[in-house]
Each structure stands twice: as C-alpha cells, then as structure tokens.
Amino acid sequence: MLLNYGKAPFFILLVAVATGIGVLVTHRRYAQPRPDLVLMTHAKLHADVYLSRLPEFERKYGVKVDVQVVEEVALRTRLLAAFAAGTPVPDLVEIPQDAALFLRGPIRDIGFLDITRWVKARRLDERMLPARFSMWQRKGVIFALPHDVHPVMLAYRADIVEDQLGIDVSKIETWDDFAAMARRIVRYGDDGRPARYALELQDDGGYLLQALLLQRGVGLFDAAGDVTFDSDVAADTVAWAVRQLRGPNRIAYSLGFGPTLWEGMQDGLVLFYFTPDWRTRTIEEYAPSLAGKMKLMPLPAWAPGGRRTSTWGATGIAATRGGRNPELAKKLMEFLYVDQTDGGRSSAELRILPAVRAAWSLPIFDTPDPYFRGQPILRLYSRLAGDVPPDYASPFITRAQSKRDNAFAAASAYYSLHGEDGFLDFVRAELRRQADAVRAVIARNRITEQ
C-alpha cells in the first residue's frame, strides 16, 4: 500500500523509521539528572582546564558541576532567547566581552546577577585589577568577574629581525622609532609584489585598531556610557593606521585570521604581530615550524614614556538571575577565577594571566618558553599587566565596533583615492558621523533606561 507513493518515498520512510528509533535510543542516554550547577562557556580550552580542576571543588562542597561548551554566536543567541523568553538558563555563564549587549534595559531586567555587594565585600575589586571591571559593569552595578588581563605585546620573527637583519629591538621605544625601522626592512620581490612587511594590521580596522586605540586610552565608550571613539586622538590613530597600510611608505599588511595568517607568518611575510597572552598559545599551535624563532617585545609607546601595552579580548564569568543556587555559583566563580589552588598551573597552561594581582608573582610564570627563545613570557606579561587600560562596557558595544570599523573602511577608501589631501579632516568627520549614528541608537533607547 505504501508503495502507492513510489519507491523513493517508501525507502525514505524506512530510513525515517530506522533513524527515528536510533534517535530515541541514543538521545535517552543523554538525559541525565541535572547537576547542581551548570557552567556554560564559549571557550573549549577553558572548559578543559575547568574540567580538570572541578573535582576539587566538587569534593569540597559535595556537589556536582557540569561544564558545557557552546560556540560564541550560538551562546549569544541562546542567552538572548532564554532571557527574553524566560526559559531555563545555565547557572553560570562565561561570556566574551561583547556579551555586554545583555546589559541593555532596566537594571532589574538584566539576566545576570548583580554581584556588586559581594565583590566589594570580598574586596575583589581591589584584589583583581580594577581596570578590568570596566568591561563588566553598568552604572556602577557589577555583573561579572573578570577572567583575565590580556596585556598585549609584539611577537616577532627573531630569526629574521635579530639574526638576519641585526636589529636591536630594545632600542625601539616609540611607534615613530618602529616605523622608521620598519621602512628600512620592507621588501618587494622581483615581480613588484610584497615579500616582507613589518607589522600586522587589519584592512577593516577590527581588533588591532582597537588595541592601538586602547593603548592611547581611547575606548568605544567612557565610564558614563557615552560614545568616545570620535575624539581627536582617535582620528590621529586611525589616520596613522591607514597610512601604514596604504601610504607610500607602507609598513603594514593585513593577513586576516584564518589559514592565511599562519601561512604568512611562517613565510615571513609579516614580521611583527600584536600578541596578547592568549595568542601565544594559538601561535605555538598553528605555527609549529617557528619554534625557537619568535620572541616578544613590549608595544612601542605613542609618546616617550607612554604606555607600552594594550589589551585585546576579555572574558568574564557571570551568574544568572534564573540560576538555582546563587551562593554556590558565587563560590564556584571565586574558585575558578580567584583561588589559585593549583599554583597557577592552569593559568600557565592556558597562557592567560589571571586578573588577581597577587597571582602575578607566582613562580610558575617564570618558566622559560623554548618557542620564544627561552623568554619567560608570562613573567613579561605580568610586568605590563598593571598598565592595562580600561575598556568600558555598553549594551551597544557590537554596534559601536562595527560603526568604528565602517569609519576605518571609509578612511582607507578615501586615502586610496585622494591620499593626504584633506585626509585628516575626512577621518574626523567620518568618525563623528559614525559615532553620531551610535548616539542616535542610544538616544532612542532612553525609553527603557530606567
């Protein structure tokens, strides 16, 4: 009878029934009783480390904790949907910086737990680098603990820069010094195509532009939540970056972040890379052929004596309002982020300097890293950690980032066409235009700002 529909549907029906049984059987395996706490994170690396440390916590409090890894975009979508619809949420969420978008709306409606009082009671706002709380608070209300500091240094091909070209990087103190050095070493092949560049930058602005801006103290927002990326300093920085990418004396190249980056790095197409602490691990993993050929140096300052580091990336951990056991959740937050019960081993393994200042002097961070020619990289980072600039959060962070990048793209296009002619004025006007667009969105949302 079923063959009335034809052979194809019949066969597919068989498949449907068979796989349906398979699905029923296999899915049942997974429906285990819920543990006491559920931690959701977007970083698989972190999850692995937590899984190894959790038994200690579970033993101490007699509970069961589970860690779930959800990819960033999916995590954002799920949280947004869950907060909006009131569906069950994980008790703890490890969130990337742009999760600040959840800080929208009246304070009472934000899906994360207000931990301000707890943080102040445990003096965590002093024990951890205060500047890092800038990303996780709104109107003085703290919602998450900072995971990291992420100071930025420059990683460079020491085998080319020092051995081959004989350059002494300790003499480079400012970006002007760097640019002067770089202009001498940029090289073109016989066919006119670039064969060597000095610095990595992004054609669309992006994280690297943001690192440069933060180094000069220019973030997307200020502490009050107002837009600040159209200041004169910002315009100057944008102009500088565009000139390095497009100017007659260009020294920078955009390799992107995918497989092209690793090919370019190993080919020596670009020599200096912006490297926060976490990126050292990525570099070691994806460019193994460069072991023993790389080294780190602090960022050149913008003015003599200026800040020699910046920051790139931030992760925080927040408890959700819909969680079942806020007290236990807070204990877990402290255990994972503050207590260094393993002597900093997990931090060293992740190559991520913790936000807790007392931990920076742990001896494990003095371990030399053979990949970077024996430099004790985390020790180097810890020396810069105190200088890391704040970066204030806002629900409109993703919008502001994309608007600022739009301005950069427009500036690049302008420079390609007109060069220096009216360039700086254009940059200023363009930044102002994009910043005003963000201000318009913020103004519109005053309605729910109670």
Out of 59, 62, 106, 140, which residue is the one contacting another protein (CB under 8 A)? 106
| Minimum distance, C-beta of residue 362 to another protein, in the bound complex (Å) | 26
Question: For another protein, which is the closer residue by CB, 9 or 370?
Answer: 9
CA distance 168 to 183: 15
Residue 9 CB, shortest distance to another protein, in Å, is 5
Among residues 170, 160, 135, 166, which one has the least CA distance to residue 149?
135
Pairing mode of beta strands 315-319, 92-96: antiparallel
**Judged by CB, which is closer to another protein: 258, or 363?**
258
CA distances from 86 to 83, 266, 321 (A): 5, 49, 11
Smallest distance from the beta carbon of 222 to another protein, in angstroms?
22
In the range 224-283, which residues lie near another protein by CB under 8 A? 254, 256-260, 262-264, 269, 282
Decide if 155 contacts 199 (C-beta within 8 A).
no
* Cβ closest to another protein, residue 322 vs residue 376: 322
Among 125, 429, 437, 439, binds another protein (CB under 8 A): 437
Q: Report the C-alpha gap between 323 and 49 in whole angstroms.
A: 23
Which residues share a beta bridge with 274?
154
Counting residues that bind another protein (by CB under 8 A) gives 87
Q: Do residues 354 and 124 make contact, with C-beta atoms less than 8 angstroms apart?
A: no
Nearer to another protein, 168 or 190 (CB): 190
* Choice between 288 and 368, CB closer to another protein: 288
Selected from 8, 121, 224, 417, the binder of another protein by CB under 8 A is 8
**Would you call 182 helix, strand, or coil by DSSP?**
helix
Residues 61-80 that bind another protein (CB under 8 A): 66-74, 76-78, 80
Other CB atoms within a 10 A radius of the CB of residue 61 amount to: 15
Q: Is 55 in the site for another protein (CB under 8 A)?
A: no
Phi, psi of 86 (to 5 degrees): 75, 20
Q: How far is the CB of 302 from another protein (least distance, A)?
A: 23
Binding another protein (rule: CB under 8 A), the pick from 402, 418, 421, 422 is 402
Q: Rounded distance, CA 233 to CA 275, Å?
A: 23
- Is 207 a binder of another protein (CB under 8 A)? yes
